[in-house]
């Protein structure tokens, strides 16, 4: 496991400055790479917005019903220095003839690094996905790097990404966690960070059946509608001051997402709770800090021993205690919320939420598994949908013509009625805005690292067991052979084909058996949110932030929240 340096991205919620990472990145083993309806009907065939989701949905439903070294060996020290080119050549030829090297394939081209550290120093900056993309120009779409004692293969093309995530999945389906993540994920007791095993299948099926699959999403429709209404109401309340006071959309949207996560998981939002184990009553803001912000920060804490496992004997007590504290506090809050819910069940309340499903219908879980299962959707709901929506609104505010085009589409389809999930299928431009935003600002710029657990091949190269694999989604989406002027944000490129948008085209939600479980929810929330905001307001950026496109940390969350001026439409 590698934790390179502390990087977080900064966001604001509940009027507080906080630093955190995308929920998924909490699950990235290397900090180095942590950046980073209920619709009354299911999406219809041919719907430009969701038709591809239908594939996913079908798979999700199926899942819900089915019971469901590198060749660069690390020779540290003087021996290597003495060994000349001849012996290296001999070694290379010897290795390529080993039985573990299928078909005597060549090794993946390596990016040169320095002894012991490998390429770590070059990756110290905040956006490794950009460094990876730059290296691809020199070393090609697949190359290997060294991060301390570990070898990592990086893929940067759509085709190779699919090969890694789909064709070779059986050899690359596990994860190796950093010490911090081992603690925070309760030793892989969650879908996103588990290995692909029976536990993974069970808990993913639970999530899909009760919250994220298409049938479950229909049941939770009221929560999403309430969220869109709250968003609209809060924006209307702020609009009168807007020319003088810029709107911080992130603050509002994130707060609503946290609330939605609680409603889906526990059947209601929670304003405050007495946490017995900590002997104090906590506000919603404090709960957000403990359940979302702290674990995200903990996941990206530097532990140099993750880079150099042979130094594990040296204690790093301060860090261990810090992470343990996060674990204890999260456990205390979750325990209190779960206990309160149990009390409500005992008092005869009839509730319909994820916890009710897990307690009554699902295969029994241990207390630890129950806690982690309930915490997972809370942390996962909090970030990526917000990142996507904020970038979409930023781009629309920056491009008034495209905003106008979207507004006209909404007006043509909805007339004077509010935009709803049923109408999304009739709005190809809205769909294009969503997908183009995912392409240019891929919220999960690098797929959570995979671990090669048996020798395999990729792109015609041999990839030995023990290698880490990084799929650079951002790099794939900047491929010039596939995308014309890839840096340009242009939703129109998705309209050209005049056919439903294929999610695999950007792979923003991953691919294969570990594809994102929350894709449908994210799409519904983001698209209705964007649609509603454009339908009701004209957006423009506050004058002095026009070119503020920086991101902090290893995710693609904006470094500074978007500050916009809004004007209600007639
Ligand atoms: C725009 C929003 C989102 C994006 C771009 C996104 C992206 C991703 C990506 C790239 C993966 C990794 C797939 C892999 O390892 O191959 C993933 C996994 C996952 N996501 Fe999302 N995600 C989003 C929203 C959500 C939401 C809202 C939830 C749940 C509330 C969610 C739950 C999950 C889960 C449970 C996994 C693990 C799946 C597995 O390992 O089988 N995601 N997501």
- pTM here? 0.84
Confidence band, pLDDT 50/70/90 cuts, at residue 383: confident
Which pLDDT score, from 0 to 100, does residue 49 have?
A: 47
Give mean pLDDT, residues 311-317: 86
Confidence band, pLDDT 50/70/90 cuts, at residue 559: low
State how beta strands 272-275 and 280-283 pair. Answer: antiparallel
- Residue 508: pLDDT above 90? yes
Question: Cα of 207 to ligand 1 centre, how many Å?
Answer: 12
Report whether 47 belongs to an annotated binding site.
Answer: no
Q: For a pLDDT cut of 90, what percent of the chain falls above it?
A: 60
The overall longest dimension of the chain from CA atoms, in Å, is 78
Nearest atom, ligand 1, residue 444 CA: 10
Choose between 323 and 542: higher pLDDT.
323
Question: Cα of 154 to ligand 1 centre, how many Å?
Answer: 20
- Residue 476: pLDDT above 60? yes
Consecutive H or E run containing 538: strand 537-541
Question: Cα of 545 to ligand 1 centre, how many Å?
Answer: 30
Which pLDDT score, from 0 to 100, does residue 551 have?
A: 65
Looking at the chain, the number of H-run helices and the number of E-run strands are 20, 13
- Measured CA distances, 67 to 178, 199, 261 (Å): 31, 12, 26
Burial of 343 (0-12, 13-18, 19+ CB in 10 A): exposed
Token pair recorded at residue 416: 């004077």
Confidence band, pLDDT 50/70/90 cuts, at residue 547: low
- Decide: 169 and 21 in contact? Cβ < 8 Å: no
What are the start-end ranges of the H helices in 239-347?
A: 249-266, 284-288, 294-299, 317-346
β-bridge partners, 18: 11
Choose between 414 and 97: higher pLDDT.
414
- Residue 377: pLDDT above 60? yes
Question: Cα of 566 to ligand 1 centre, how many Å?
Answer: 31
Confidence band, pLDDT 50/70/90 cuts, at residue 303: confident
Question: Cα of 100 to ligand 1 centre, how many Å?
Answer: 33
Say whether 448 sits in a helix, a strand or coil.
coil
> pLDDT of 118-167, one tens digit each?
998 888 766 789 899 999 999 999 999 999 999 999 999 999 999 999 99
DSSP 507: -
Spell out the residues 6+ positions from residue 511 whose beta carbon is closer than 8 angstroms to its own.
161, 162, 165, 166, 504
Give mean pLDDT, residues 58-62: 41
Please tell me the distance from the alpha carbon of residue 76 to that of residue 206, in angstroms, as a whole number.
Answer: 46
- Residue 545: pLDDT above 90? no
State the first-to-last Cα distance of the chain, in angstroms, to the nearest integer.
55
Nearest atom, ligand 1, residue 165 CA: 16
List the single range of 1-5, 247-251, 446-450 with lowest mean pLDDT. Answer: 1-5
- Residue 342: pLDDT above 50? yes
Ligand 1 test: best mutation among 516, 522, 530, 557, most atoms within 8 Å of CB?
516
Give mean pLDDT, residues 102-117: 89
Ligand 1 pocket, Cβ-based, cut-off 6 angstroms: 24, 165, 191-192, 204, 207, 212, 377, 380-381, 384-385, 388, 443-444, 447-448, 508-510, 514-518, 521-522
**DSSP state string for 145-196:** EEETTEEEEEE-SHHHHHIIIIITGGGS-B----HHHHHHTTTT-STTTS-S
Q: Which residues of 357-395 are buried (b: 16+ CB within 10 A; e: fewer)?
A: bbbeebeebeeebbbbbbbbbbbbbbbbbbbbbbbbbbb
β-bridge partners, 472: 446
SS3 per-residue string spanning 131-152: HHHHHHHHHCCEEEEEECCEEE
Q: For a pLDDT cut of 70, what percent of the chain falls above it?
A: 78
- Decide: 188 and 195 in contact? Cβ < 8 Å: yes
β-bridge partners, 281: 274
- Decide: 230 and 256 in contact? Cβ < 8 Å: yes
- Decide: 444 and 22 in contact? Cβ < 8 Å: yes
User: Which residue has a Cα nearest atom 39 of ligand 1?
Assistant: 514
């Amino acid at each position: 496991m590698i934790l390179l340096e502390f990087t977080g991205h900064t966001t604001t919620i509940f009027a507080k400055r906080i630093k955190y990472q995308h929920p998924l990145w909490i699950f990235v083993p290397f900090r180095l790479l942590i950046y980073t309806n209920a619709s009354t009907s299911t999406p219809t065939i041919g719907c430009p917005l969701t038709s591809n989701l239908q594939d996913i949905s079908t798979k999700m439903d199926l899942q819900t019903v089915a019971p469901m070294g590198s060749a660069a060996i690390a020779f540290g020290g003087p021996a290597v220095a003495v060994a000349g080119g001849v012996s290296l050549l001999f070694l290379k030829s010897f290795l390529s003839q080993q039985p573990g090297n299928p078909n005597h394939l060549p090794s993946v081209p390596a990016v040169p690094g320095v002894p012991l550290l490998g390429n770590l120093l070059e990756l110290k900056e905040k956006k490794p996905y950009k460094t990876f993309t730059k290296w691809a120009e020199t070393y090609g779409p697949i190359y290997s790097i060294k991060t301390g004692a570990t070898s990592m293969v990086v893929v940067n093309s759509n085709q190779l990404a699919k090969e890694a995530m789909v064709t070779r999945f059986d050899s690359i389906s596990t994860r190796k966690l950093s010490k911090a993540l081992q603690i925070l994920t309760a030793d892989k007791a969650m879908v996103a960070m588990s290995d692909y095993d029976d536990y993974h299948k069970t808990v993913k099926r639970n999530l899909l059946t009760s919250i994220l699959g298409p049938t479950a999403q229909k049941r939770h429709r009221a929560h999403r509608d309430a969220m869109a209404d709250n968003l609209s109401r809060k924006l209307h309340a702020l609009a009168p001051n807007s020319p003088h006071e810029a709107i911080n959309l992130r603050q509002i949207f994130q707060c609503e997402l946290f609330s939605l996560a609680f409603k889906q998981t526990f059947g209601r939002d929670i304003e405050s709770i007495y946490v017995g184990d900590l002997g104090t009553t906590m506000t919603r803001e404090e709960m957000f800090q403990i359940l979302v912000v702290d674990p995200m920060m903990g996941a990206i804490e530097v532990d140099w021993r993750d880079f150099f496992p042979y130094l594990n004997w040296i204690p790093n007590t301060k860090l261990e205690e810090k992470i343990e504290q996060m674990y204890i506090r999260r456990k205390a809050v979750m325990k209190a919320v779960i206990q309160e819910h149990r009390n409500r069940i005992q008092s005869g309340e009839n509730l319909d939420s994820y916890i009710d499903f897990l307690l009554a219908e699902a295969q029994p879980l241990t207390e630890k598994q129950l806690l982690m299962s309930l915490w997972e959707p809370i942390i996962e709901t909090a970030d990526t949908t917000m990142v996507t929506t904020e970038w979409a609104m930023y781009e629309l505010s920056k491009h008034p013509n495209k905003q106008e085009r979207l507004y006209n589409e909404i007006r043509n389809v909805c007339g004077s009625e509010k935009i709803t999930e049923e109408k999304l299928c009739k709005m190809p431009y809205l769909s294009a805005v969503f997908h183009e935003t995912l392409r240019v600002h891929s919220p999960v710029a690098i797929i959570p690292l995979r671990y090669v657990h048996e020798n395999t091949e990729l792109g015609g190269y041999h990839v030995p067991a023990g290698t880490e694999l990084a799929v650079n989604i951002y790099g794939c989406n900047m491929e010039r052979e596939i995308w014309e002027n890839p840096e340009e944000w242009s939703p129109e490129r998705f309209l050209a084909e005049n056919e439903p948008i294929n999610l695999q085209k950007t792979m923003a939600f991953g691919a294969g058996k570990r594809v994102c479980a929350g894709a449908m929810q994210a799409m519904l929330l983001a698209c209705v949110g964007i649609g509603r905001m454009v339908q009701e307001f004209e957006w423009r950026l506050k004058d002095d932030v026009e070119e503020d496109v920086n991101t902090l940390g290893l995710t693609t969350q904006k470094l500074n929240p978007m500050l916009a001026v809004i004007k209600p439409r007639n």
